[in-house]
Structure 1
Amino acid sequence: MGIFSIASQHIRFAMKLACAIVLALFVGFHFQLETPRWAVLTAAIVAAGPAFAAGGEPYSGAIRYRGMLRVVGTFIGCIAALTIIMLMIRTPLLMLIVCCIWAGFCTWISSLVKVENSYAWGLSGYTALIIIITIQADPLLAPQFAVERCSEILIGIVCAIIADLLFSPRSIKQEVDRELDALIVAQYQLMQLCIKHSDKSEVDKGWGGLVRRTTALEGMRSNLNMESSRWTRANRRLKALNTLSLTLITQACETFLIQDSRPETITDTFRELFAEPVETAQDVHKQLKRMRRVIAWTGERDTPVTIYTWVGAATRYMLLRRGVIGNTKISATEEEVLQGEAIVRPESAERHHAMINFWRTTLACIFGTLFWLWTGWTSGSGAMVMIAVVTSLAMRLPNPRMVAIDFLYGTLAALPLGALYFLVIIPNTQQSMLLLCIALAVMAFFIGIEVQKRRLGSLGALASTINIIVLDNPMTFHFSQFLDSALGQLVGCFVAMMVILIVRDNSRARTGRVLLNQFVFAAVSAMTTNTARRKENHLPALYQQLFLLLNKFPDDIGKFRLALTMIIAHQRLRNAPFPINDDLSAFHRQLRRTADHVISASSDDKRRRYFGQLLEELNVYQEKLRVWEAPPQVTESVARLTGVLHRYQNALTES
């Protein structure tokens, strides 16, 4: 049954892609656009891009969101191009070089913003370059060309959205409901492992999988939010559920760590309660009711703090889960949960990686410009455009080299496919709009199926083929022009791949070190008496950084454990009752300044010096806590943090 469902989704999306392309082609020729190719190309990319990323038919809202990003990116690129032309029209070479730097700048920005928004910035970089390259013969046509390009792109986006709506877009709501049920069962099973104090590798596998699933659920929330305004209430609940899921992971892992030194903390009563197996969300609900009765009988004081917090978070999770599934009106009890702490956004740890991406795009575009001007090759401009497109779009993805190879394979596949359409099919169908539409629909249908399978080169082949076959008004068929255009694409992709291979990305180790130091800063900054600061919720940001660490170092268990220890330390210190006085408040600010110096240090020597200073200040701070008679909950947590920082000093200071 599942195989038939997947096959039907593949066929439905392939028909959707074919419809989007045919609709854009028909509208482009009906309204006598000068280059209907841009409308067709936009419709193809907007529809096929999310399918390639998702590995199947994209969920409802994904195509609309990508279309919106393309509109934003195009407008930013057009405005940038017109500004550069107005300022530097008298110096064409300088104008091109500044445009190459603009493309690099947009790639730099796209490497720092959220992944789902990076497409707009990458697009704005090469849009400006396309405009400036195209109007080299007559710069006065720049405003007209910018307006035409925006109009054609808007037509393509509208056609993609109409096709999406015509072929019943897939709603993600059922997937969200199923994942909410499965996630709470997995959370309960992780807590069972931690209370039993199972093998470390088994626990590591459990919490690592839950971090990934919680991150995936947050991605589903974004899709659901894009789908329709009627999911606004569900979106609010899912935001809070993300924090609750992360809280459950943290408390479970802390329960495991506590038993390394104090196994007697977990009483036999709770060991017996968590020994009960669970299979469904209803089983978890029954177990939580039993636990709440036991806690009410034993009292909060006699309940281990991690279990008490875990049960409270799981109870709130079940409450909000019910609201998401039914999409009911938010009750007063739910409103109290939703009116929680302000969520803090994480600071990017990939600044060095972003700078490398800037240089890759800038150098590749400048090299392409010089090659074009030196050779005078008529398709050198096409090669430049492909260089900008590949470097701009590849840099933000985890494996830019594979993206460049995908484009290269796509342009190679476009040579015979484009030649077939250019030499045989289109010349024999140009007298009939119906035959032309059918011909393009057939190509889009079969490539649409391959795109959903993430076949290497499929997306590049679709875009490259549409780009080189003549879809201008009027159509002209000059084989030399076709060959030049196809070779220009091929050379551009090859040059972009060479630049990516030559300009090596050595930022992985530095990013890992910055991420670990950000965890240290979060733990240190939790030591505060400021009420507003204590109410800030850093947990989603910390786990987002942990997820990045998981992706950067998939096999380094030591880094994950250290990061998780820092997250647990942050949560302990955030809830600890620090004595309120001016002396400690001033020292908290000093600790934060020193921890910030550790993150921003420009060399290993400076980093080691500031880290040593931080350790000395933490020793002084512990003395101050004793003087001010801080409770054991505070002194023990600070001592644990200091011990961990001493133990992992080398890992936290060396690049």
Structure 2
Amino acid sequence: MGILSIAPQHVRFAFKLATAIVLALFVGFHFNLETPRWAVLTAAIVAAGPAFAAGGEPWSGAIRYRGMLRIIGTFIGSIAALGLIIAMIRAPGLMLLVCCIWAGFCTWISSLVKVENSYAWGLAGYTALIIVITIQTEPLLAPQFAVERCSEIVVGIVCAIVADLLFSPRSIKQQIDRELDALLVDQYRLMQLCVAHGDSEAVDKAWGDLVRRTAALEGMRSNLNMESSRWAWANRRLKALNTLSLTLITQACETFLVQNTRPDSVPDTFRELFAEPVETVKDVHRHLKRMRRVIIWTGERDTPVTVYSWIGAATRYLLLKRGVVGNTRISAIEEEILDQEVVIKPASAERHHAMVNFWRTTVSCTLGALFWLWTGWTSGNGAMVMIAVVTALAMRLPNPRMVALDFVYGMLVALPLGAFYFLVILPSTQQSMLLLCISLAVLAFFIGIEVQKRRLGSLGALAGTINILVLDNPMTFHFSQFLDSALGQLVGALLAFVVILVIRDNSRERTGRTLLNQFVSAAVSAMTTNKARRKENHLPALYQQLFLLLNKFPGDVAKFRLALNLIIAHQRLRTAPVPVNADLSAFHRQLRNTADRVISASNDDKRRRNFQQLLDELAIYQEKLQIWAAPRQVIESVQRLTAMLHKYQHALTDS
């Protein structure tokens, strides 16, 4: 029943993985590489890693992109290793300690960069450690080993990419087209809920789902960008569509919130128009045309700002969506939309989390080195390598403990499976390269199916089994060496798992508070008269931080509402007609500096003092707005922001 229920794409990827491993094995032996095992292991990890992350066959471009990251990480790690060897060749113990710190440093950086790029830095950390450990007995061979390792890894990556291309990788383009249509329909339904001022729980659920789907669409855009350069026009439009989708969510939620204090803020005409049901994008298009005619007849001033902005954003969404579907040349109108604003990248709120990851990697690698030096165990170096691999790959993922546990289970499975291959299969295939390839292809095929199901231990079992098999040139069979290697990687995985359990990650609350304070800082920074600053688009960054908040605190509606209110305040203040003069400009800089000090405060007392100073300055700012005869819209927006900060002062300052 299990075999019969396997989906066709699972079988296709299993063949792809088997082909990648067989190609790497054949090329490694054909060109007499020193250790073909590295090429085979690289091909397996590069191909299977994205499948495990995706829970199925990865989209086109994912394997190629991961391969490029692996090459970059390997070269960075090799250069770092050579630098350490040249500088500290006379102090091997100190060199090993500094290499452990380097591995922790790379993990720290990988925790701060974009998730899709973190793999390169994690790899750079343990590549340097592998080289330094391997040349301990013959340090003069370090340059040769670094070059060999890089060449073997490049061979493995090329084999994985060739296998991916042979088995017609799946394009994500059709799924993006379908999601763009479905997303617009659901955006319209959210606006219907907000205009009708319906149940707040239904609104919370609808906007939460749309935030997640918009974040998922941005991930699809990244996959499409990796797939081929022919999607460059679609990629530019999708970047703008991400902002437009977030704008639609913001304007809809503000429409709902405004009606809490002003129930008659939305005219009956628009209530009737939004009351009509929609099923398809054509229905949305038809209703938008009617609404635009109503705005022309009644005038822009008689249309609520949020409704007017929502209709404009939805119209631009439709225009860009058509361009994405057809992947046509960008028109002059589209170019104007695409060049409208400068998108700002978010600052990381996980600095404490990154520091915890640094200590986890550094401490576990150092303990492994001490264990190796103290016991003198021949496979202690293998344990150290496994520690570095587990900690580097686990730290960036949402649940490092489960990743480490996956490796522990994988090493346990690799021990009997590897022994079977080592004692029975490989000795029987010594006279035939074809039989050797078939035997490894069968192993890769069945593990490839399990990897796509995210079976705990499957990815670790694949890497662990290949690592302990004697796929060197020439092949030798010493059972004591095999057992040492198998136990070494099991001990390394266990030690890494224990360190992750002992050094607890207590950064969740701190990250949540930092995220909320970054929302406050963004709202305060929107109060500016600088034209270039007002053109900066912080919305994608703010919603990226909101998405992180959703992941850190699932189900905490109060935090989500506060964050959403601050995002709405930012958007409202960004478009507010603040009077232009030197006095207000200087005070804007002062407000921004105070808000930045709230984020960077090292303890609760400093944070409370800086936050109180910010509240006092906002009170003074309101007086200045009165003196300079600011429009009512500006004064009311600042008053609402100040009242919100007073209300949630404890949530924003206390640990």
In 1, distance between residues paired with 2:628 and 2:296?
A: 34
In the other structure, the counterpart of 2:11 is: 11
In the other structure, the counterpart of 2:641 is: 641
In 2, distance between residues paired with 1:249 and 1:508?
A: 26
In 1, distance between residues paired with 2:240 and 2:348?
A: 23
In 2, distance between residues paired with 1:393 and 1:44?
A: 15
The residue matched to 1:498 in structure 2 has which SS? helix
In the other structure, the counterpart of 1:590 is: 590
Letter in 2 for 1:15: F
The answer as to 2:389 corresponding to 1:380 is: no
Cα deviation 1:505-525 (Å, max 9, x = unaligned) = 010000000000000000000
In 2, distance between residues paired with 1:197 and 1:473?
A: 72
In the other structure, the counterpart of 1:118 is: 118
In the other structure, the counterpart of 2:456 is: 456
Q: Residues 53-132 of structure 1: matches in 2 within 5 Å? A: 53-132=53-132
In the other structure, the counterpart of 2:32 is: 32
In the other structure, the counterpart of 1:174 is: 174
In 2, distance between residues paired with 1:5 and 1:532?
A: 57
In the other structure, the counterpart of 1:561 is: 561
In the other structure, the counterpart of 2:353 is: 353
In 1, distance between residues paired with 2:222 and 2:430?
A: 43
Residue 65 of structure 1, CA deviation: 0.1
TM-score normalised to structure 1 length: 0.99
Aligned length: 653
Letter in 2 for 1:310: W
Q: Residues 306-345 of structure 1: matches in 2 within 5 Å? A: 306-345=306-345
Residue 6 of structure 1, CA deviation: 7.5
In the other structure, the counterpart of 2:201 is: 201
In 2, distance between residues paired with 1:420 and 1:284?
A: 62
In 1, distance between residues paired with 2:36 and 2:47?
A: 17
In the other structure, the counterpart of 1:548 is: 548
In 1, distance between residues paired with 2:337 and 2:440?
A: 53
In 2, distance between residues paired with 1:17 and 1:561?
A: 45
In 2, distance between residues paired with 1:421 and 1:622?
A: 76
The answer as to 2:148 corresponding to 1:153 is: no
Letter in 2 for 1:25: L
In 2, distance between residues paired with 1:177 and 1:398?
A: 29
In the other structure, the counterpart of 2:284 is: 284
In 2, distance between residues paired with 1:356 and 1:25?
A: 39
The answer as to 2:621 corresponding to 1:615 is: no
Question: Structure 1 6/422 Cα, relative in aligned 2: closer, same or farther at 3 Å?
Answer: closer
Letter in 1 for 2:95: M
In 2, distance between residues paired with 1:278 and 1:18?
A: 47
Q: Residues 231-270 of structure 1: matches in 2 within 5 Å? A: 231-270=231-270
Q: Residues 216-227 of structure 1: matches in 2 within 5 Å? A: 216-227=216-227
In 1, distance between residues paired with 2:338 and 2:588?
A: 30
Task: Give the fraction of aligned pairs with identical amino acids, expressed as a percent.
Answer: 81
Residue 201 of structure 1, CA deviation: 1.1
In the other structure, the counterpart of 2:465 is: 465
In 2, distance between residues paired with 1:217 and 1:632?
A: 38
Provide structure 2 residue ranges, at least 5 long, that are not aligned to the other structure.
none
Q: Residues 361-510 of structure 1: matches in 2 within 5 Å? A: 361-510=361-510
The residue matched to 2:342 in structure 1 has which SS? coil
The answer as to 2:618 corresponding to 1:626 is: no
Cα deviation 1:408-439 (Å, max 9, x = unaligned) = 00000101110110000000011100000000
Cα deviation 1:79-122 (Å, max 9, x = unaligned) = 00000000000000000000000000000000000000000000
In 2, distance between residues paired with 1:562 and 1:430?
A: 67
Residue 403 of structure 1, CA deviation: 0.3
The residue matched to 2:220 in structure 1 has which SS? helix
Question: Structure 1 4/410 Cα, relative in aligned 2: closer, same or farther at 3 Å?
Answer: closer
The residue matched to 1:265 in structure 2 has which SS? coil
Residue 4 of structure 1, CA deviation: 9.9
Cα deviation 1:256-305 (Å, max 9, x = unaligned) = 10010001001111111001111111111111111111111111100010
Letter in 1 for 2:42: T
Provide structure 1 residue ranges, at least 5 long, that are not aligned to the other structure.
none
Letter in 2 for 1:522: A
In 2, distance between residues paired with 1:4 and 1:499?
A: 41
In 2, distance between residues paired with 1:624 and 1:334?
A: 40
In 2, distance between residues paired with 1:82 and 1:575?
A: 54
In the other structure, the counterpart of 1:304 is: 304
Cα deviation 1:617-646 (Å, max 9, x = unaligned) = 101110110111110110000000000000
Residue 198 of structure 1, CA deviation: 1.4
Residue 196 of structure 1, CA deviation: 1.1
Letter in 1 for 2:107: T
The residue matched to 2:537 in structure 1 has which SS? coil
The residue matched to 2:454 in structure 1 has which SS? coil
In the other structure, the counterpart of 1:600 is: 600
Letter in 1 for 2:606: K
In 1, distance between residues paired with 2:441 and 2:287?
A: 55
In 1, distance between residues paired with 2:441 and 2:282?
A: 48
In 1, distance between residues paired with 2:5 and 2:542?
A: 38
In 2, distance between residues paired with 1:259 and 1:386?
A: 58
In 1, distance between residues paired with 2:36 and 2:155?
A: 9
In the other structure, the counterpart of 1:526 is: 526
Residue 199 of structure 1, CA deviation: 1.2
In 1, distance between residues paired with 2:604 and 2:206?
A: 35
Cα deviation 1:543-567 (Å, max 9, x = unaligned) = 0000000000011111000000000
Cα deviation 1:360-412 (Å, max 9, x = unaligned) = 00000000000000000011000000000001110000000000000000000
In 2, distance between residues paired with 1:466 and 1:430?
A: 17
The residue matched to 1:290 in structure 2 has which SS? helix
Letter in 2 for 1:624: K
TM-score normalised to structure 2 length: 0.99
In 2, distance between residues paired with 1:4 and 1:169?
A: 23
Cα deviation 1:228-266 (Å, max 9, x = unaligned) = 110000000000000000000000000010010001001
In 2, distance between residues paired with 1:488 and 1:284?
A: 61
The residue matched to 1:112 in structure 2 has which SS? coil
Residue 329 of structure 1, CA deviation: 1.1
Residue 5 of structure 1, CA deviation: 11
Cα deviation 1:112-162 (Å, max 9, x = unaligned) = 000000000000000000000000110000000000000000000000000
The answer as to 2:182 corresponding to 1:185 is: no
In 2, distance between residues paired with 1:277 and 1:41?
A: 55
Cα deviation 1:185-237 (Å, max 9, x = unaligned) = 01001101111111111111101100000000000001001101100000000
In the other structure, the counterpart of 1:539 is: 539
The residue matched to 2:463 in structure 1 has which SS? helix
In 1, distance between residues paired with 2:457 and 2:4?
A: 26
Question: Structure 1 611/13 Cα, relative in aligned 2: closer, same or farther at 3 Å?
Answer: same
Per mean C-alpha deviation after superposition, the further-off stretch among 194-203 and 453-462 is 194-203
Question: Structure 1 159/518 Cα, relative in aligned 2: closer, same or farther at 3 Å?
Answer: same
Per mean C-alpha deviation after superposition, the further-off stretch among 3-12 and 244-253 is 3-12
The residue matched to 1:83 in structure 2 has which SS? helix
In 1, distance between residues paired with 2:411 and 2:4?
A: 32
The residue matched to 2:567 in structure 1 has which SS? helix
Residue 340 of structure 1, CA deviation: 1.4
Letter in 2 for 1:654: D
